[in-house]
Amino acid sequence: MEKPSTHGDHHPQDNPPRPPSFWKSRAGIYLIFALVLGGLLLGYEHRVHILGSGLLIWLPLLLCVGMHFFMHGGHGGHGGHGKGDDK
């Protein structure tokens, strides 16, 4: 006996396969590697300015905000707070 679906009948053929992400392609991986390497070299060359400026104290705060933004996917990523669909 087949259980009735509550969300409608969704078949795999209804959603065509999406093309692969640019960031997972060979060019995307090379770009990420080049940006990381360039950032490390830039940071190494300017380490005296970075460490001596006093702005390094803000780094933990910026990391927390950045992690919150990217880990939750931006605004509205907390699992549906305030949507009013609690029954």
- Helix and strand numbers (H, E) in the chain are 3, 0
Q: Is residue 11 part of a domain?
A: no
pLDDT in tens, 28-52: 999 999 999 999 999 899 988 888 8
Residue 1: pLDDT over 60: no
Is 37 inside a domain boundary?
A: yes
Task: Please give the Cα distance from 31 to 18 (Å, whole number).
Answer: 22
Q: Does some domain include residue 29? A: yes
For residues 73 and 32, what is the distance between their CA atoms, to the nearest angstrom? 20
Cα gap 73→60, rounded to integer Å: 20
- The answer to whether position 68 is within a domain reads yes
Range of the domain at 36: 23-72
Task: Kindly state whether residue 17 falls inside one of the protein's structural domains.
Answer: no
Q: Structurally, how many domains does the chain consist of?
A: 1
For residue 81, is it within any domain?
A: no
In this predicted model, what pLDDT tens digit does every residue of 49-80 receive, in sequence order?
888 888 888 888 888 888 888 887 655 555 55
pTM of the shown model = 0.48
- Segment (H or E) for 48: helix 47-52
Residue 4: per-residue pLDDT: 56
